[in-house]
Amino acid sequence: MNVIGESVQTRSGRDEIGPVASGRVPPPEASVLRNGLTRSKAHMVQAVTKSVMLDDDQEMIERKLKRLSQEKSLFDRKTSKIQFLMCKVLLMIMYLIYGFYRYFQYEYNRMKLKLLNIMYNPSNTPQLIRQDVNKLKKIPKRLAAILEMKSASYVGGGVKGLMNDGSELVCWTVSAGIKHLILYDYDGVLKNNVQDFRKEIRAKLGKYYGPSNVPKYAIRIPHLNKIYFNDEDDATSNGKNKVAIEVSLLSNRDGRETIVDLTRTMADLCAANELKLSNITMKLVDKELTHLVGPEPDLLLYFGPALDLQGFPPWHIRLTELHWEEDNDDVVYSVFIRGLQKYSACKINVGK
């Protein structure tokens, strides 16, 4: 502790604390960033200085007030303030260095993603996807994907963009020969627009397979216990076994809230003496939740820059393999196929 105190004191002697608040000169890294790199970096620097200065201003006022009231312990307080300020300055330097590094990392990741997108380009042909998938040793039985709705002002944003992403994924999954797909979006936008989504899927599949050759599909909304086959309104027309893909639409509602619902139901049953507490086992809960939400997926794809599960049903991600690409922001085929590749290489040994 003393070592720090001393070093901070000697350093602060060089730095002069007073001017820091009003006319702070940023360290050399800042000026490099400000002049050399893009403007956005300069904004970052601004943000840092702003945060530091904000604290300093309050501190100055505080210090003045205290100086007026108490002259005695001024020295002690001053040293601790100086220490704190030093930490802030150091923090800023660390942020700058990290920000610098992060900038290059970001550029590198984006470049990598661009190259991958060129390498893996299905261009609406199921055969190409088949070729990619046939090389793999094993493929997941159930695939899940977390989708996010982007702001409507961007290209590929809004409800339309989300449905486009979702239906694209359905096509890839069908082409890869995977029979179950779970599409998760936090707010349940896909669920609420299920009729439009059905049409969108049909149109997309038509593009991949030709309009006369559209594979059969079923859309399931477990929460409402509804199933839609192809885009006909009559739910019983087609045999359930014949579909090429079953798409489950989930949202935040199917996560924790469903577990709460189950608890409520079981509490009622227990209160009515129809269920004993000792009969509530892992097997029972698992069975019920599988019934209410669906089985656990083998692979979960996330198309955002840093993994965020966004309330995905917690019971259902026990051994799920997670895949996302750092700094990626779009639903692209390269993430999909690389996820499958990763899954085919992974080895799951429970407990061992």
Partner 1 sequence: MMDGGSTIPGYSVALEWVKNLFSRTIKSSNCVPKHIGFVMDGNRRYARKNEIEIKEGHEAGFSSLSQVLELCYEAGVDTATVFAFSIENFRRTPSEVDHLMRLAREKIRQITQHGEIAEKYGVRIRVIGDVSRLHKSVYDDIVATTELTKSNTRATLNICFPYTSREEMLHSIKDVIAGGKKSGEINEASIERSLYTGDDPPLDLLIRTSGVTRLSDFLLWQVSERGVVIELFDCLWPEFGPMKMAWALLKFAFRKTFSDKENELEDDDGVLENQDDLYIKKTL
Binders of partner 1 in range 78-97 (CB under 8 A): 83-84, 87-88, 90-91, 94-95
Closest approach of Cβ 348 to partner 1, in Å?
A: 7
**Binders of partner 1 among 148-187, rule CB under 8 A?**
186
Closest approach of Cβ 316 to partner 1, in Å?
A: 9
Count of helices and strands (H, E) across the chain: 12, 7
Using CA of residue 158, residue 188, residue 329, residue 145, what is the dihedral sign? Answer: negative
Residue 352 near partner 1 by CB under 8 A: yes
Region for residue 151 given its phi and psi (left: phi exceeds 0; alpha: psi -120 to 50; beta: otherwise): beta
**Binders of partner 1 among 10-39, rule CB under 8 A?**
38-39
Q: Which is nearer to partner 1, 103 or 206 (CB)?
A: 103
Euclidean distance between CA atoms 67 and 61, whole angstroms: 10
Residues 6+ apart with CB under 8 A from 275: 266, 269
Q: Which is nearer to partner 1, 111 or 235 (CB)?
A: 111
**Binders of partner 1 among 305-324, rule CB under 8 A?**
305-315, 317-323
Q: Which is nearer to partner 1, 1 or 68 (CB)?
A: 1
Number of residues that bind partner 1 (CB under 8 A): 73
Q: Which is nearer to partner 1, 136 or 280 (CB)?
A: 280
Q: Which is nearer to partner 1, 244 or 309 (CB)?
A: 309
Q: Binding mask 214-253 vs partner 1 (x if CB under 8 A, - otherwise)?
A: ----------------------------------------
Nearest to 302 by CA among 184, 139, 195: 184
Could you give the C-alpha distances from 242 to 32, 58, 115, in angstroms and in order? 63, 69, 38
Residue keyed to tokens 């904004």: 43
Region for residue 328 given its phi and psi (left: phi exceeds 0; alpha: psi -120 to 50; beta: otherwise): beta
**Binders of partner 1 among 255-294, rule CB under 8 A?**
255-257, 259-260, 262-268, 270-271, 277, 280-282, 285-286
**Binders of partner 1 among 325-344, rule CB under 8 A?**
327, 329, 342
Residue 111 near partner 1 by CB under 8 A: no
Could you give the C-alpha distances from 76 to 5, 73, 83, 155, in angstroms and in order? 11, 6, 11, 57
Token digits for 267? Answer: 């509490």
Euclidean distance between CA atoms 140 and 129, whole angstroms: 15
Residue 126 near partner 1 by CB under 8 A: no
Q: Which is nearer to partner 1, 59 or 231 (CB)?
A: 59
Closest approach of Cβ 95 to partner 1, in Å?
A: 6
Q: Which is nearer to partner 1, 106 or 291 (CB)?
A: 106
Euclidean distance between CA atoms 66 and 60, whole angstroms: 10
Residues 6+ apart with CB under 8 A from 161: 149, 150, 154, 155
Q: Which is nearer to partner 1, 186 or 333 (CB)?
A: 186
Closest approach of Cβ 301 to partner 1, in Å?
A: 11
Residue 65 near partner 1 by CB under 8 A: no
Closest approach of Cβ 312 to partner 1, in Å?
A: 5
Euclidean distance between CA atoms 81 and 64, whole angstroms: 13
Q: Which of 98, 114, 138, 242 binds partner 1 (CB under 8 A)?
A: 98
Closest approach of Cβ 227 to partner 1, in Å?
A: 26
- Say how far residue 253 (Cα) sits from the centre of its chain: 17
Residue 74 near partner 1 by CB under 8 A: no
